[in-house]
Structure 1
Amino acid sequence: MAVRAQALLAQFGKLPVLMLIAVTWLGFMLAVAILADLITPYPYTQMDLHNRLSSPVFMGGDWAHPLGTDELGRDVLSRLIASIRMSLLIAFGATIIGAVIGVTLGFVAAHFRGFIEQIVLALVDFSAAIPFLVLALAVLAFFGNSIVLFVCLLGLHAWERYARIARGLAISGNAQGYSAAVHQLGASPLRLYGRHILPNIASTLIVSMTLAFPEIILLESGLSFLGLGVQPPNTSLGNMVGFGREYLSSAPWIMLAPAFVITITALCISLVGDGLRDKLDPTLT
């Protein structure tokens, strides 16, 4: 175990500087999300009207509220920690949902071909042709808003990307010898695709998921900014930016703190995705 840990540390130390910074930041964000209940200095809904719009410490405020307070006297740091957990949870759930839907339909198209394949490809083209923001506005206006619905809706974003990738790679895998051998041994389609083809294309799908993850974060932020995402008393990064825009001139820290986290997190995930693509794609080595 000690030798393996040393080998992992050695590989971690060989990462490019930007990649090392990105991995460190994402690890920090993950730790904040997991330990949110333990490290939050105040309940994120707690109001203190006597201290409303207090300045952060770098603008002359005190350490009782290091990032200041908002228009209702709520601690910005506490709300930021809770928002990081909510936004990462939404983005992770939506990314998994999109990948599962896309990969499943991609495998269905690759297995049945013919008419069913044409139906799946038509759905892919139809989904890609509809502006996602318009679809989100229509669904949320008609069905109302809830966290579960919101996550499922975001999960529909970019599922066609996974479907195309899974279909193409599955067709290529079916043409190879190991797939034909497994099929001749009597393996079911579920076993063939789940136990043999999926592990061989997993690296490409993982890279696609890391590239789609920041898109989900930005979509959640944009919809929450418009008031269509996470609803009070819950909070998210986009929700904080949306409420803070009205105080941009008088209390910019309300909006700038979550905006900074959104920008840096999306950038770091994109850097990690690019690094994984370069590492796992044999055509780039």
Structure 2
Amino acid sequence: MVMASATKSYKNNPGLLARAGSQLRKIPFSVGFGIAWLAAMVLIAVFADSIRPYGITSMDLRARLSVPGHPSHLLGTDELGRDVLSRLIQSVRVSLAIAFGATIISALFGTALGFAAAKFRGNVEHLVLVLADFQAALPFLIMSLAVLAFFGSSMPLLIGLMGFYGWERYARIARGLAISASAQGYAAAIVQLGATPARVYLHHILPNVASTLIVSMTLTFPEIILMESGLSFLGLGVQPPETSLGNMVGFGREYLTRAPWIMLAPAFIIMVTTLSISLVGDWLRDKLDPTLR
């Protein structure tokens, strides 16, 4: 019924259809490719169990190191006869889950500290800025290696650790935008009407700064994917029998000369995914930033 109503609306309003087509044509090809690729990656991650042809630990020793194009293994097999395509699908799910969870944690943590600094000012603001400077100066990869080596690697710990990457960006952005919004006067007017500070920041200031924070998330997301891939490559990220993109690259490097597809397939996914996120993020910045219109 909804589809019929929408179709009727388009038939009765040919100008609406023309405007929709015009908006689609305005999207650059590279951005359209990035959106399509990211949509495909999300669908693969969500329906991984349904589309994966084999289990990630299923071995076929008679088909060890089969080249791509094998009748039973489209992307070939690894050194243990495990299907590369199946492991690649699962790796996409795991890597995206880690990156998405860590990005959300980082954004929430940093935005909350930024709003706290803008609200209380004084010592609280100074403490937040000092912590942000310390985080920016800290070699995060070395700290991550130390933490994972000491406590061991697990999925919750890895997501939580990655969640502390880049929070200082959100804190600085949220603080600056919140101070600017408060200086415009509408926040003070809302307070005079009896609104609580939580309502002012969550219902009035946050929607006005959300576009900038969303763009920042698109910049942090690929960095977290690369960080997780690096940790897994070094053996301190996702641990077997689970797999991730960086994990596959790490194990495949030993067979680069004999079976390069083991390493090149996940490396290609990492490269195209991070490139797509960057392209879409730049496009969103141009669309959401009023100063660039």
Alignment TM-score, normalising by the size of structure 2: 0.93
Deviation at 1:249, TM superposition (A): 0.4
Deviation at 1:225, TM superposition (A): 0.3
2:68 pairs with 56, 65, 77, which one? Answer: 56
Q: 1:212 to 1:9 in 2, by over 3 A?
A: farther
Percent same amino acid among aligned pairs?
A: 66
In 1, Cα distance between equivalents of 2:190 and 2:20: 34
Q: 1:9 to 1:150 in 2, by over 3 A?
A: farther
Partner SS, residue 73 of structure 1: coil
In 2, Cα distance between equivalents of 1:39 and 1:170: 45
Q: 1:8 to 1:145 in 2, by over 3 A?
A: farther
Match of 1:136 in 2: 144
Q: Deviations over 1:164-210 (max 9, x none)?
A: 00000000011112111111111111111001000000000000001
2:266 pairs with 245, 253, 258, which one? Answer: 258
Match of 1:270 in 2: 278
Match of 2:54 in 1: 42
Q: Deviations over 1:248-267 (max 9, x none)?
A: 00000000000000000000
What is the letter of the counterpart of residue 196 of structure 2?
A: S
Match of 2:193 in 1: 185
In 2, Cα distance between equivalents of 1:231 and 1:28: 25
Match of 2:33 in 1: 21
Deviation at 1:10, TM superposition (A): 5.0
Partner SS, residue 137 of structure 1: helix
Deviation at 1:9, TM superposition (A): 6.0
Match of 1:33 in 2: 45
Aligned length: 281
Q: Does the alignment pair 1:209 with 2:221?
A: no
Deviation at 1:11, TM superposition (A): 2.7
Q: 1:240 to 1:105 in 2, by over 3 A?
A: same
Q: Deviations over 1:64-118 (max 9, x none)?
A: 1010000110000000000001100100000000000000000000000001100
Q: Deviations over 1:99-140 (max 9, x none)?
A: 000000000000000011000000000111110011101111
In 1, Cα distance between equivalents of 2:56 and 2:245: 13
2:241 pairs with 218, 221, 233, which one? Answer: 233
Alignment TM-score, normalising by the size of structure 1: 0.96
What is the letter of the counterpart of residue 222 of structure 1?
A: G
Partner SS, residue 80 of structure 2: coil
In 2, Cα distance between equivalents of 1:109 and 1:250: 55
Match of 2:231 in 1: 223
Match of 2:95 in 1: 87
Unmatched 5+ stretches in structure 2: 1-5, 11-15
What is the letter of the counterpart of residue 24 of structure 2?
A: F
Q: 1:281 to 1:231 in 2, by over 3 A?
A: same
Unmatched 5+ stretches in structure 1: none
Q: Does the alignment pair 1:114 with 2:116?
A: no
What is the letter of the counterpart of residue 32 of structure 2?
A: L
Match of 2:180 in 1: 172
Q: Deviations over 1:140-183 (max 9, x none)?
A: 12221110000010011100000000000000011112111111
Q: Deviations over 1:10-38 (max 9, x none)?
A: 53343111111111111111111111111
Report the aligned-residue RMSD. Answer: 1.3
What is the letter of the counterpart of residue 31 of structure 2?
A: M
